[in-house]
Structure 1
Amino acid sequence: MDSFSSVHYFNKLFNDYYDRFVRFASGYVRERQVAEDIVSEAFTVYWENRKNLSPDSNPPAYILSVVKNRCLNHLQHIQVRQRAEKEINEHTEWLLSIKINSLQACDPDFIFSDEIEKIVASTLESLPQKTRQVFMLNRYQGLSYRDIASQMDLSIKAIEFHISKALSQLRFSLRDFIYLLLFLLYFH
């Protein structure tokens, strides 16, 4: 088939089947613009591969197969996105539930008990002087990392290190209370 006949045949094929294929795709993807894009891509795929097809191939069936596969890909993509959104929503609900349970289990008298205050004071006293000073400036005086770094002539990375070190030691010292809090949260 010469170039002119190919173009003429393609135009006839397009005119005869485009609307039918768009209706077919729309029945699945439910968005006219998406269906039109899929069908246009299918015709483009046919045009680009027409010379590689066997002479006895059925062009409308070939194009419809491409439309079908593109619709499947589109719907599977939506399905994956919906699953991800569902998992995100479930995770968000779980976090909200944890926060609600945490607030319900929160006992200010327990949190400010002498025992916990003694553990915190003892832990802070056991820290190296610079770590303790950085932590106290940040947590008790509300200074930013930048302000502390400037005041103590340290880098912000050093401030981050000292804060991290203090928090790690506090978590370790309060681990029994943290486990008790977690127990109260999950089994309350």
Structure 2
Amino acid sequence: RNSLHADSNIPAYILTVIKHKCLNYLQRLRTTEKVTKYLKDCSDWELNLRISTLEACNPERIFCDEIQKIVEETLQKLPLQTREIFIRSRYNNQSHKEIAESLKISTKSVEFHLTKALKVLRIALKDYFPILFFFPYIYR
């Protein structure tokens, strides 16, 4: 490389050097394209994963489960009679009069226990009230 022999074919040598330089360039280009394609595929895969994760996520269901759990835990903390009256009123759709007659208490007592239960639930669910008002409008 440092010196050429006098009998060397200089045009052939130059052509060989150019050929190898071109091959090296094209191989680097191919490698760059492979890496670029691989990175794009990884990026596409990540994007598709994020999209599918967001599509599969149902915030209404997540919050519904959380809220239901909080309601159940809060009801368990209530006094037995208050819990019983709340369950009969809200879950069994009994009227105040029906509850009062079956438990042999006044309707005012039923109202008192319901007010007490609702107050405790309101405090337990205070962080969810904005969400409860917002979600009905999202899915219409």
TM (normalized to structure 1)? 0.38
The residue number in structure 2 matching 1:168 is: 119
Distance 1:132 1:158 in 2: 13
Alignment partners' CA distance in 1, 2:132 and 2:64: 14
Asked if 1:112 corresponds to 2:64, the answer is yes
Is the counterpart of residue 151 in structure 1 residue 125 in structure 2?
no
Q: Greater CA radius of gyration, 1 or 2?
A: 2
Percentage of matched positions with identical amino acids: 38
CA 141–181 in structure 1, closer or farther in 2 if over 3 Å, else same: closer
In the alignment, residue 112 of structure 1 is paired with which amino acid?
A: C
Give me the whole-angstrom Cα distance separating, in 2, the residues matched to 1:181 and 1:130: 28
* TM-aligned CA deviation for residue 180 of structure 1: 3.8
Deviation at 1:130, TM superposition (A): 0.5
Using CA pairs below 8 Å that are at least 6 residues apart, which structure has the higher relative contact order? 2
2:91 to 125, 135, 140: 140
| 2:93 aligned counterpart, secondary structure | coil
Selected match of 2:72 from 107, 121, 134: 121
C-alpha separation between the residues in 1 aligned to 2:62 and 2:123? 18
Count of residue pairs brought into register by the alignment: 78
Residues in 1 aligned to 2:97 and 2:76: alpha-carbon distance in whole angstroms:
24
Aligned mates of 1:179, 1:108 — CA distance in 2? 13
TM-score normalised according to structure 2 size? 0.50
Deviation of 1:110 (Å): 4.0
Shift of 1:181: 4.0
Return 5+ residue gaps in structure 2 as ranges. 1-58
Q: Secondary structure at the match of 1:143?
A: coil
Where do 5+ consecutive residues of structure 1 fail to align? 1-106
Q: Hey, what's the Cα distance between the residues in 2 that align with 1:130 and 1:154?
A: 11
Q: How does 1:1-188 map to 2 (within 5 A)?
A: 108-113=60-65, 115-181=66-132, 184=134
Measure how far apart 1:155 and its partner are: 0.4
